[in-house]
Amino acid sequence: MSTAAFFDIDGTLFREGLISEIFKKFVTYEIVEMDRWYREVMPEFENWKKRQGNYDNYMMKMMEIFMDSVKGLHKTQMEFIARNIVNQKGERVYVYTRDRIKWHKAQGHKVISISGSPTEFISEFAKKYGFYDFAASEYKLNSDNYYTGEVVPMWDSDSKKNAIDGFIKKYNIDLHKSYAYGDTSGDFNMLKMVRYPTTINPTRELIEQVKEVPEFAERLQIVVERKDMVYKLRVDQT
C-alpha cells in the first residue's frame, strides 16, 4: 500500500493566505468593488487582528464575496489571475512546509494537496511544487466556460475527509503510514485520519477541537514558524 502526505495550501504552504491574494487581485481588476472591502471585509479583518474575532470569520467573509463575484467571469480570466499570483508570489511559502514536501517526495510518498481554494489556483501550485495529485473547490462552468456561481466546496472538514476517501481508493493509500498538514478547523478530519498529523501555525479554533479528542491530541505535532525560526510544540503546551 502507498504512503501519502496530504497538504492544505492556504496558510499551510502559502504564507500570504491564497484567498486574500485572490481577493486583492479581484479588487485590482475591479471585479470586486473596493467599497466592499471597507464595508464587509475590513471589520472582520480588524477584529481578527485585535484578537477579538477569529480567522475563520475573516476568511469566510472574503470567500462569500469571492463566490458572489466570480459568477459570469470566463474561465480564462480566472486562469490569468491564478498564473499571475503564482508567478509573482508563489515562492512566499513556509520553509518548514516546503522542506517537508521535498522530504516526502524523496521518500517516494504520494504528495497530494487538498485545498479549499479554487481548482484553477491549486492546479498552478500543484505544477510549481510537483504535487502528485490534488483536490480543490470546483467552481462550475456553463457550456461556454463562464462561471455559473455554483460551487462544489473543498474548504470544510467533511469535504476534505471525502476527498481523502477518494484518494485511498484511487492510490491504495495506507492511512496508518500517512501524513497530513493543515492549519484551520477545515483541516480537522484530514489531520485526524492519518497516523502523523502536523498543524502549521494553527488557529485557536482548530486546537480547541483537537483537545476534545485526547488520542488525536497526543499524535498531533504543532509547528510554529516565525521569521527564520521553527518551533515544535505539543497540544498540552498550548
Residue 228's pLDDT band, with cuts at 50, 70 and 90, is: confident
Domains held by the chain: number? 1
Calpha distance 104→201 (Å, rounded):
20
Question: Model confidence over 98-155: pLDDT tens digits?
Answer: 999 999 999 999 999 999 989 999 999 999 999 999 999 999 999 999 999 899 989 8
Whole-prediction pTM:
0.88
Residue 48's pLDDT band, with cuts at 50, 70 and 90, is: confident
Nearest to 220 by CA among 236, 205, 231, 204: 236
Sign of the CA dihedral 55, 228, 15, 217? Answer: negative
Calpha distance 95→104 (Å, rounded):
14
CATH number of the domain where residue 229 is located = 3.40.50.1000
Half-sphere exposure of 184 (CA within 13 A, CB side): 23
What's the pLDDT at 64?
81
Calpha distance 122→9 (Å, rounded):
8
Looking at residue 229, the DSSP 8-state letter turns out to be: E
Residue 21's pLDDT band, with cuts at 50, 70 and 90, is: confident
Residue 218's pLDDT band, with cuts at 50, 70 and 90, is: very high
Calpha distance 237→96 (Å, rounded):
20
30-51 per-residue burial string, b: 16 or more CB within 10 A, e: under 16: ebbeeebbeeebeebbeebeee
**Mean pLDDT of the region 25-42:** 82
Cβ–Cβ < 8 Å for 61, 37? no
Mean of the per-residue pLDDT values for the chain? 91
Calpha distance 91→15 (Å, rounded):
9
Supply the range of the domain harboring residue 42: 4-237
